[in-house]
Amino acid sequence: MSHPTSLTIMVLSDSVGGTASNVVHAALAQFPDVDYELKNFPFIREEDQLTVVLEKAKRFNAVVLHTFVDPILVETIETFCNGNEITCIDVLNPLIREVTSRTNTMPQHKPGAKHKLDDKYFNRISALEFAVQYDDGKDPKGFLEADIVILGISRTSKTPLSIYMANQGYKVANLPLMPESKLPDEIWQVDSNRMVGLTNEEEMLSNIRRERMLSYGMDPETPYSSKERIRKEIQYAEELYRKLNCQIINVSSKSIEETSAIIIDSLKNR
Mean pLDDT score across all residues of the chain: 90
| Residue 77 within any structural domain of the chain | yes
pLDDT of residue 216: 80
Helices 202-215 & 227-244, crossing angle to 10 degrees?
120
In whole angstroms, what is the distance from residue 236 CA to residue 197 CA?
A: 12
> In which domain, by residue range, is 146 found?
119-269
Question: What is the per-residue pLDDT for 176?
Answer: 97
Looking at the structure, tell me whether residues 187 and 232 fall in a common domain: yes
- Co-location of 166 and 68 in the same domain: no
Nearest to 93 by CA among 104, 82, 109: 109
Q: What is the pLDDT of residue 115?
A: 55
* Known binding-site residue numbers for ADP: 152-159
Q: What three-state secondary structure class fits 24? A: helix
Neighbours of 47 (CB within 10 A): 14
Determine the Cα–Cα distance for residues 106 and 99; give it in Å rounded to an integer: 9
Judge whether 109 lies within some domain. Answer: no
pLDDT for 243 equals 97
Identify whether residues 131 and 239 lie together within a single domain.
yes
Binding residues, as ranges, are 152-159
Beta strands at 148-152 and 88-90: parallel, antiparallel or unpaired: unpaired
Q: pLDDT at position 238, please?
A: 97
pLDDT of residue 33: 85
Q: What is the DSSP string of 44-87?
A: --SHHHHHHHHHHHHHHT-EEEE----HHHHHHHHHHHHHTT--
CATH number at residue 94: 3.40.50.2300
What is the Cα–Cα distance from 94 to 41, expressed in whole angstroms?
Answer: 21
Burial of 73 (0-12, 13-18, 19+ CB in 10 A): buried
Q: How many CB atoms lie within 10 A of CB 268?
A: 7
pLDDT of residue 38: 92
pLDDT tens readout for residues 243-267: 999 999 999 989 999 999 999 999 8
Residue 122 has pLDDT above 70, yes or no: yes
Q: Is the pLDDT of residue 118 over 70?
A: no
The confidence band for 215, taking pLDDT boundaries of 50, 70 and 90, is confident
Most confident range, picked from 32-36, 41-45, 108-112, 179-183: 179-183
- For residue 24, is it within any domain? yes
Do 168 and 251 share a domain, yes or no? yes
Q: Which of the listed residues 68, 103, 138 is the one where a domain comes to its end?
A: 103
pLDDT at 1: 45
- Share of residues in the chain with pLDDT > 90 (%): 69
Instruction: Name the residue among 201, 146, 190 with its Cα closest to residue 170.
Output: 146
Is the pLDDT confidence value at 132 over 80?
A: yes
The tally of domains found in the chain comes to 2
Among 123, 180, 130, 163, residue whose Cα is nearest residue 256? 163
Confidence of residue 108 (pLDDT cuts 50, 70, 90): confident
Q: Say if residue 149 is in the same domain as residue 232.
A: yes
63 & 180 share domain: no
| Nearest residue to 11 (alpha-carbon basis) of 57, 48, 46 | 57
Residue 205, pLDDT above cutoff 50: yes
Single out the residue in 61, 76, 103 at which a domain terminates: 103
